[in-house]
Amino acid sequence: MTHNTGITPKFHPEITPPLEELEAQERRLVFRRFTHDDAWALGSLLVEMARERQAPVAVDIHRAGQQLFHAALPGSTPDNDAWIARKRRVVERYGASSYIVGARFRAKGTSFEESSRLDPDTYAAHGGSFPINVEGVGIIGAVTVSGLPQWEDHRFVVEAVGEFLSKE
């Protein structure tokens, strides 16, 4: 299967869509359920997409504090795993994607690092971690990618979640 190849590991200037568009994206990408098998299928889809693009990423899916999926592709490093944990903690604390949280701080003329009062070694409001929001339940976990520039990490996860949900 060939996926959209619009995301590459090459650096592209970051273009941030309006906050309203990002928030609408989160409202739209809601799961009906999320099982262990769903984590495996979504994680496998992310790995397949990353392999096609030769993206040097690590992929992680957590639900209710349990790691259900993790893969490190060629070119990824242990540092990507540290970024995954920091981004995921932002989703768990704020109930929104790590990219949106950072964008909300930027919209106020500040940064997450300056104004959140949280340890930047523990939390990172950089793109790549997206909430697993189950209809009628709420946010139960996060799917996270690290290895590309933050906007590309975010788009990569959003693309995969959208494709996964279109098959539900």
Residues 6+ apart with CB under 8 A from 163: 3, 45
* Amino acid sitting at position 117: R
Q: What is the pLDDT of residue 15?
A: 62
Query: Which pLDDT value is given to residue 7?
Result: 42
How many residues are recorded in the chain?
168
Which helix (H) or strand (E) segment holds residue 67: the answer is strand 66-72
Tell me the β-bridge partners of 144.
60, 129
Low-confidence ranges of the chain (pLDDT < 50): 2, 4-13
CATH number of 20-166: 3.30.450.150
Distance between CA atoms of 116 and 159, rounded to whole angstroms? 28
Query: Structural domain boundaries of the chain?
Result: 20-166
pLDDT at 12: 41
pTM of the model: 0.90
146 vs 166: CA distance, rounded Å: 24
pLDDT at 168: 81
Looking at residue 11, its pLDDT comes to 35
- Interval 11-39: pLDDT, tens: 344 567 889 999 999 999 999 999 999 99
Residue 144 contacts residue 156 (beta carbons within 8 Å): no
Tokens at residue 148, please? 């590309």
As given in the structure block, the two tokens for residue 90 are 């932002």
Candidates 104, 103, 101, 125; CA nearest to 113 is 125
Calpha distance 32→14 (Å, rounded): 32
Residue-level pLDDT at 17: 82
